[in-house]
Structure 1
Amino acid sequence: MLRLLLTYGANANQRRSDGTPAIVVAARRGDHAAVDVLLQAGADVDARDGRGRTALMHAVERDEQRVITALLLAGAAIGAVSADGMTALQLARGWQRQNVQFMLGERHAGLDDVPIVRTVVRAVPTGVRLAGDPQMLQLLASVLDIALDDLGDNEWETRTGADADTARAVAVRLREEVVPAANASWHQLDVTADELAAVRSALVELAYGTTRVMPAGASRLESIDVLEELNRQLGR
């Protein structure tokens, strides 16, 4: 479909309403085929989103190695610096992605504790572990608070099938119980399957439901991005 749209005049450098280039959206989603098609159609491999991040930076953070390969073959700038001072290599080091570090030209890679600014929350299947920066985890807490306030307990439980008290409790935990990971720079919180389901349900409400209020500094599109990334990690 993308190839057909481009054939009939669609702009390979089209941006979403929040200014995110199509190639960045494709990279965030791990869609290496779409990235390849966009590049063949002339998309700017180093186009930046609102945070000054390139498709390569997002692919590195999400460990999308097939996307990284396509971008590097197209000449993506490894040394590009985002508005918050990050490079693709720094992001690989901060997430301890050793294979990616080698792909980016590192000769030696270890499990170093490198502080970075993360734009994704990683769901670790074993024990249901959420890992990311405190700001990202607190964003999830805000999403829960807003959805609960907007719907009320009864409608929340009817629409989501999730217990309101569980949702409220995990919002508190996301603010108060997040701890630094051992030997790494990210923070993390182990949650139950029910707590994770509540987080996902709140994201659905903000992304596609009737809720109009968004967390401070965030948009509906960002809620959709976080939800899609979580769904992808969960195999949905």
Structure 2
Amino acid sequence: MDLDAELVAAVRAADPSAVAKALADGADPDSAASRFTTTVLSEAAGTGLLEIARLLVDAGASLRARRPRYQSPLRSAVSNGHLDVIRLLVDRGALDVEGTDRGSLLATALAATWHRPRAAAVEVLRYLLELGAGAAPGEEVPIVQALLGSAAPATIRVLLHHGADPNSRRSDGTPALVLAARRGDHAAVDVLLTAGADPNAADGHGHTALMHAIERNERAVSTALLLVGADHVGALDIARGWQRQNVQFQLGEMSVGLDDIPIIRTAVRLHPTGYELRGDPVEFRRWGRLVACAAEELGDDEWDARTGTPYALAQAVARRLVADPAKCPTASWHRVELSRAELATVRQAFVELAYAVRVPLPDGLGQEYVHDALDELDAQLP
């Protein structure tokens, strides 16, 4: 076994004595098992091997990522919640050489609180905030990132304690409270309200958190907002328009019926008894344009290979969403009946536009809209 392989084996065996021997014999402290793997320092940092990490750093191991797509030693430690290793690396200057091609270090710490939720992840987040870590250029502010990732209340409270504004807005102007309400995250709504979030803050369409909660039938959220005195303006019409009779009672109605109130809807709802989408024609047209955009960008062969659904089906679904919405005879919404395969095609188009392909989206539609539509569709799928 050559010296570099000996060092790799010693690190993976978590054997500090063997690591020290290999380094003393001349092994490269930046060794890796292969050209497709990270350095031994990144491996040690990611598994929390403090003593070994110190030996490698003392021997001159690089604090940078081996390649742009690989995690640096510091980011590996942050991802896995190893605060003692993080402190070591920061003391040795790791923050000064940490790149942002993989996003900010704080975004990595936030993601760890929901991907690997444990007390250590919160401690790492708190430590980085104390160091002044923030968002990278082009990223949403941290509290918005947390809400979009459905972070636990403990994470949101840490951010607020370290100066996050409960009235922060996403880059498209959507208030943090509205983001939480749209997702039915009543715990986050409560934390934000307790921290001073304005319950009546509106998004770019003039819709408040209460209006969004009622439209999506998120009763726990609407109850929390009503208990702090959220303004009822527009809320009752939305409840009537979606025939949310339970909410109409919450809003003070003494008797309710199946009202047919025309409203402007911001959501497309999946009826629980089948694959019937309900909403306004304008929203269905937006969905159809997005499906068509994704299909056209990928083309016939790549669409079939990447999504596992036929290209011709994607084209047909896009046309149906634009042309087929039919007025419900007993309500003001429109509806489109889709097969299971057609609904899967819509979802695949959203996934491609949200995470895979970067193309100019149809006029008036941005990445925020795509992510919101995908999140809400996923939340409703059986």
Bin for the TM-score computed over the shorter chain: over 0.9
CA distances 1:52-76 after superposition (whole Å, capped 9, x unpaired)? 1110000010000000000001110
Q: Is the 8 A contact 1:150 1:211 kept in 2?
A: no
In the alignment, which of 209, 217, 227 is matched to residue 55 of structure 1? 209
Q: Which runs of 5+ in 1 are unaligned?
A: 80-86
The alignment partner of 2:359 has SS state of coil
Q: Which runs of 5+ in 2 are unaligned?
A: 1-154
Task: Give how far 1:127 is off.
Answer: 2.5
* Corresponding residue number in structure 2 for 1:128: 275
* Corresponding residue number in structure 2 for 1:82: none
AA in 1 matched with 2:359: R
- CA RMSD, Structure 1 to Structure 2 (Å): 1.0
1:71 aligns with 2:225: yes
Question: In structure 1, what is the Cα distance between the partners aligned to 2:237 and 2:356?
Answer: 36
Aligned residues: 228
Q: Is the 8 A contact 1:147 1:211 kept in 2?
A: no
* Corresponding residue number in structure 1 for 2:339: 192
Question: In structure 2, what is the Cα distance between the partners aligned to 1:214 and 1:96?
Answer: 33
AA in 2 matched with 1:103: Q
AA in 1 matched with 2:340: A
The alignment partner of 1:158 has SS state of helix
1:214 aligns with 2:361: yes
AA in 2 matched with 1:65: R
Q: Is the 8 A contact 1:24 1:55 kept in 2?
A: yes
Question: In structure 2, what is the Cα distance between the partners aligned to 1:212 and 1:14?
Answer: 28
Task: Give how far 1:32 is off.
Answer: 0.1
Question: In structure 2, what is the Cα distance between the partners aligned to 1:47 and 1:213?
Answer: 30
Task: Give how far 1:213 is off.
Answer: 1.7
In the alignment, which of 109, 133, 138 is matched to residue 285 of structure 2? 138
Instruction: Give runs of ≥4 in structure 1 deviating > 4 Å.
Output: none
CA distances 1:177-219 after superposition (whole Å, capped 9, x unpaired)? 2100121000001100000000011111222222322122111
Q: Equivalent residues in 2 for 1:71-110 (5 A)?
A: 71-79=225-233, 87-110=234-257
Q: Which has the higher contact order (CA 8 A, sep 6+)?
A: 1
1:168 aligns with 2:315: yes
In the alignment, which of 42, 45, 49 is matched to residue 196 of structure 2? 42
CA distances 1:95-125 after superposition (whole Å, capped 9, x unpaired)? 0000011111111211011100000000113
Question: In structure 2, what is the Cα distance between the partners aligned to 1:29 and 1:127?
Answer: 22
Question: In structure 2, what is the Cα distance between the partners aligned to 1:7 and 1:66?
Answer: 25
Question: In structure 2, what is the Cα distance between the partners aligned to 1:227 and 1:3?
Answer: 27
The alignment partner of 2:177 has SS state of helix
* Corresponding residue number in structure 1 for 2:170: 16
* Corresponding residue number in structure 2 for 1:232: 379
Question: In structure 2, what is the Cα distance between the partners aligned to 1:181 and 1:209?
Answer: 36
AA in 1 matched with 2:231: A
CA distances 1:149-181 after superposition (whole Å, capped 9, x unpaired)? 111011111111111111111111112221001
Task: Give how far 1:126 is off.
Answer: 2.1
The alignment partner of 2:166 has SS state of coil
AA in 2 matched with 1:225: D
Q: Is the 8 A contact 1:59 1:65 kept in 2?
A: yes
- Name which one, 1 or 2, has greater alpha-carbon Rg: 2
1:6 aligns with 2:153: no
* Corresponding residue number in structure 2 for 1:159: 306
User: Which deviates further from its counterpart, 193-202 or 1-10?
Assistant: 1-10
Question: In structure 2, what is the Cα distance between the partners aligned to 1:127 and 1:50?
Answer: 32
Task: Give how far 1:9 is off.
Answer: 1.1
Question: In structure 1, what is the Cα distance between the partners aligned to 2:283 and 2:309?
Answer: 22
AA in 2 matched with 1:207: A
Question: In structure 1, what is the Cα distance between the partners aligned to 2:280 and 2:245?
Answer: 20
If the length of structure 2 is used for normalisation, what is the TM-score? 0.59
The alignment partner of 1:77 has SS state of coil
Question: In structure 2, what is the Cα distance between the partners aligned to 1:192 and 1:62?
Answer: 23
Question: In structure 2, what is the Cα distance between the partners aligned to 1:113 and 1:70?
Answer: 27
The alignment partner of 2:335 has SS state of strand
